[in-house]
Structure 1
Amino acid sequence: MTDTLSDLTEALLDAAKKAGAENADALAVRGTSISVDVRGGALEQAERSEGVDIGLRVLIGQKQASVSASDTRPETLAMMAERAVAMAKEAPDDAHIGLADPADLTRGWDLDALELADPSPEPAPEHLVTDASTAEAAALDVKGVSQVQSATASYGASEIYLAATNGFSGGYARTNRSTSCVAIAGTGTGMERDYDGDMRTYQSDLRSPGQIGQQAGHFAVERLDARKPATGNFPVLFDERIASSLIGHLVAAANGSAVARGASWLQHALGERVLPDHLSLIEDPHLPRKTGSRPFDAEGLPTTRRAIVEDGILTGWTLDLATARKLGLASTGNAARSTSGPPSPATWNLALTQGDQSKADLMADMGTGLLVTSMIGATINPTTGDYSRGAAGIWVENGVPTYAVNECTIAGNLRDMLRRIIPANDARTHLSRVVPSLLVEGMTLAGA
């Protein structure tokens, strides 16, 4: 980590104290991103951005205010501090805000073990063009693909530094490298679109662009000649590509912010069964090369491995300091923030217990129903868990995929759905949310 960001956050804290702040924290982020889009074998668009964003939060008594900027001149820092203090003086009291107790701060971490930043050089633009072109060509080679909507390759690097008047000071760097492709199959009103992509922390881990383009093409072709399914109650198999969204609804309901507002369908479910008794949902922020890994949270507290759900039982909420105080609990080290606002609770790397059957096995067991491969729109009632989403996928008859399906709606109640999920064994373990395909029996389908 460079001294520059450290010095910048310390300068912000000094400016805040001079302006009259009792306490403050400062966040500085330096980022670089490069992205290229290829279309028709030629470069269509290339973008590069570089910059530093800074954020300052000041506290006066039980009042707080946040300001941000992308200008790091000394006069700007002083102006930010003055404005933040003036805003804080006019803000309403909040009994739950405040920096972490110095005794609770994390004091040491092993960045090398986390492998958050690839030491390899930034890729040359021509290498990104080659990757995007290769993905596009591979998609066009798939029989039935009529065109490629986009093929993109990108790289990003960032440095983050956090400092506060309670004594915390620390930072780390991140990198990411990605390739994606959106293919279109068919012609006219019968066209269908699908995609594939991959993003990794280390460039050497990235799947080949040819494989990504080819898979995008196959996904698009599978959607041709789609029909509406029958209306009724059927089992629904959520494909691994979209199954994490189902677990995401559970995670959102277990967020301390929603619980504190009384806006969670899990409001009174602590200690109750929310998943089948053989399944757990584990958060681990210390896994190498994962986007959800971090040595400390946005309030300087240590991040730790924990079970959100253990053997089917909901064990706790996801908390930052403020929401923890509202609920009379302790922070779980899950504060996240941008430069423009105060901390709020967020989850890091998540993994759901995988099953011992393949997706094909679950498809055979489900008999007749729907394999969902994409979803659009959502009507989720956050207090009741009522669930309704537009879906597309493959109709399964007697365990065998038969035809593509679109323009249908799947509905149920999340509390009931999650308690009877059956996981496959096909989760991609490099993702920050490791969730396999999930079978849910007895959902309502509205089609023809």
Structure 2
Amino acid sequence: MDVTLEAASLIDRVSALVDAAKAAGADAADAVAVRDRSTSVSVRLGKVESTEASEGDDVSLRVFVGQRVASVSATASSDPKVLAERAVAMAKVSPEDPYQGLADAALLAKAVRDLDLYDATAVSADQLKEDALEAEEAALAVPGVTNSSGSGASAGLGGMVLATSHGFLGQYVGSRFSRSASVIAGEGTGMERDYDYSSRLHFSDLDSPEAIGKSAGERAVRRLNPRKAQTGEVTVIFDPRVARGIAGHLAGAINGASVARKTSFLRDMMGKQVASAAITVIDEPARRRGQASRPFDGEGVDGQTLTMVDKGVLNHWFLSTSAARELGLTTNGRGSRGGSSVSPSSTNLSIEPGEQSPEALIASLRSGFYVTEVFGQGVNMITGEYSRGASGFWIENGALTYPVSEVTIASNLKDMFLRMVPATDLDRNYGTAAPTLLIEGMTLAGS
């Protein structure tokens, strides 16, 4: 696939949309085209369950008439003049919004950096099928595994082209490849399920199908014959898979849009201690081969690496242009395009590693709860209240002993961040990354 030629056609379309908006009476405008291509195969018990292929080119136009704004979305083949006239007519009858507008021209990316986001490797549907079957076969070969929930593999790409009426024009494309396996161990009411997966921008960086399947099977078997734990206060250690969710809650709490709406429990904490001194949080939009990397944000702004939390002290919000203006600040290039709207978000966010290995954290506890899965929606981002169903393994005398399920862990995220201790095992191959995390003083509800 010649992505250069495909991008050229989208550049022409977004440029035409911006020109049409100005001709229709807009004071300013920007247009974005999003391209998506994907192929996926899922199998179960040695048979193909589905093969899917999709592709789409969508455009959106945002126009500004004074302090009024409106947006429209359509397919890339739509008539620019018709879309522009409709958007301008909508803007003229919309309420005024003093915070909307294009990003300051001085903040726009001057050159689009090559972040090595695209891998041209062509992966056929047959290859995807073979990878999925190999992963499932490896999982079913693990002693104790009794059934498959399915295995899959996919390949695709996604790209964006952005044009603005004050002179910005940029585009980038990123590839994506994935493999996964999910299996069941045990029989009857004693069955347990678990999974593993690998997702990368470059095909050669993927974990092997055999490794993914074996890991999924071993994880499921380890969960067999779980017990409940006694109710009480407990030190919890979060497996990195779950710790990434904790990092995501922190990202949500320091999102400028939430702060402006007063829906974040950290809204009054800028410059203050929000986490333990062991916690430093980095956001890095231009990391090479990063899962969430981008050479410019949804408004064309050149985002730089930011230390969001430095030794526990909150330094920044995630800001788009509108969120920044509402807070009396300047965007830091975290505007994320969602169709025709722009809102702030993190990029490659990571809770930086600490000084102790995960094994050392576990060994330090006489008793505790090692959490490998949480479920339920019990997180209140306005108050910070945290209550989730959980499963994992009980820690006794510094070692993982027996599996635990059907318990609830609870605390407040404000307290959890202040008691957090990170381990050394940070894996940056995720858009939101975290190492193993230890948190004291949580409440466990069990038997």
| TM-score, structure 2 as length reference | 0.96
- Judge conservation of contact 2:44–2:148 (CA < 8 Å) in 1: yes
Partner of 2:92: 89
Q: Distance in 2 between matches of 1:239 and 1:56?
A: 43
Q: Give the deviation of 1:408 after TM superposition.
A: 1.0
Name the counterpart of 2:116.
115
Whichever residue aligns with residue 45 of structure 1, its letter is: S
Contact 1:281 1:308 survives alignment (8 Å): yes
Taking only aligned residues, the RMSD between alpha carbons, in angstroms, comes to: 1.3
Task: Look up the equivalent residue of 1:9 and give its one-letter code.
Answer: V
| Match runs of 1:4-403 below 5 Å | 4-74=9-79, 77-111=80-114, 114-120=115-121, 122-338=122-338, 340-403=339-402
Secondary structure of 1:214's counterpart equals helix
| More divergent stretch after superposition (404-413 vs 208-217) | 404-413
Give 1:19 deviation, angstroms. 2.6
C-alpha distance in 2, partners of 1:168/1:444? 52
Shift of 1:386: 1.3
Contact 1:378 1:390 survives alignment (8 Å): no
The answer (yes or no) to whether the contact 2:391–2:404 under 8 Å persists in 1 is yes
Quote the offset at 1:57 in angstroms: 0.8
Q: CA deviation at 1:90?
A: 2.0
Residue 377 of structure 2: SS of its match in structure 1? strand
Following superposition, the deviation at residue 71 of structure 1 comes to: 4.7
Question: What SS does the aligned partner of 2:299 have?
Answer: coil
Q: Distance between the aligned counterparts of 2:146 and 2:375, measured in 1?
A: 23
Q: How many residues align?
A: 442
- Aligned counterparts of 2:278 and 2:224: Cα–Cα separation in 1: 38
In 2, Cα distance between equivalents of 1:299 and 1:282: 21
Opposite residue 311 of structure 1, the aligned amino acid is: K
What amino acid is aligned across from residue 321 of structure 1 in structure 2?
A: T
Counterparts of 2:354 and 2:45, CA distance in 1: 42
| Structure 1 residues 73 and 353: CA distance shift in structure 2, 3 A | closer
Q: Distance in 2 between matches of 1:102 and 1:414?
A: 38
Alpha carbons 1:286, 1:295 under 8 Å: kept:
yes
Q: What CA distance in whole angstroms lies between the structure 2 residues aligned with 1:415 and 1:88?
A: 41
User: C-alpha distance in 2, partners of 1:88/1:184?
Assistant: 54
Q: Is the 8 A contact 2:247 2:433 kept in 1?
A: no
Which deviates more from structure 2 when the two are superposed, residues 348-357 or residues 230-239?
Answer: 348-357
Does the CA-based 8 Å contact 2:145-2:220 persist in structure 1? yes
Amino acid at match of 1:36: V
Larger mean CA deviation between 18-27 and 174-183 belongs to 18-27
The answer as to whether partners of 2:278 and 2:422 remain within 8 angstroms in 1 is no
The TM-score with structure 1 as length reference comes to 0.96
Unmatched tracts of structure 1, length 5 or more: none
Give the C-alpha shift of residue 210 in structure 1: 0.4
Deviation at 1:247, TM superposition (A): 1.7
The one-letter code of the counterpart of 2:424 is N
Question: Which residue identity is paired with 2:374?
Answer: M
Shift of 1:431: 2.3
- What is the distance in 2 between the residues matched to 1:92 and 1:404? 56
1:180, distance to aligned residue in structure 2 (A): 0.5
Q: 1:104, CA displacement in angstroms?
A: 2.4
Amino acid at match of 2:288: P
Aligned to 1:404: 403
Deviation of the 1:356 alpha carbon? 2.4
Q: Report % sequence identity.
A: 46
Check conservation: 1:320, 1:332, Cα contact below 8 A: yes
What is the rounded CA distance, in whole Å, between the counterparts of 1:355 and 1:286 in structure 2? Answer: 23
Q: 1:173 to 1:216 in 2, by over 3 A?
A: same
Would the aligned equivalents of 1:100 and 1:166 in 2 still touch at CA under 8 Å?
no
Contact 1:134 1:209 in 2 (8 A): yes
Contact between 1:391 and 1:410, CA under 8 Å: does it hold in 2? yes
The letter of the residue matching 1:32 is R
Partners of 1:422 and 1:278 lie apart in 2 by 6
Partner of 1:419: 418
5+ long unaligned stretches in structure 2 = none
SS in 2 for 1:337: strand
Residues 155 and 177, structure 1, Cα contact 8 Å, conserved in 2: yes
Q: Is the 8 A contact 1:101 1:166 kept in 2?
A: no
Note the alpha carbon deviations across 1:238-290, whole angstroms, 9 max, x for none.
00111011121111111100110111111111111112223310111111111
4+ runs deviating over 4 angstroms: none
Contact 2:408 2:446 (C-alpha < 8 Å) held by counterparts: yes
Amino acid at match of 2:42: D
In structure 1, C-alpha distance between the alignment counterparts of 2:85 and 2:226, rounded to whole Å:
60
Taking the aligned partners of 1:205 and 1:247, their CA distance within structure 2 comes to 24
Residue deviations 1:104-128 (CA, integer Å, cap 9, x gap): 22111321xx1010132x2011110
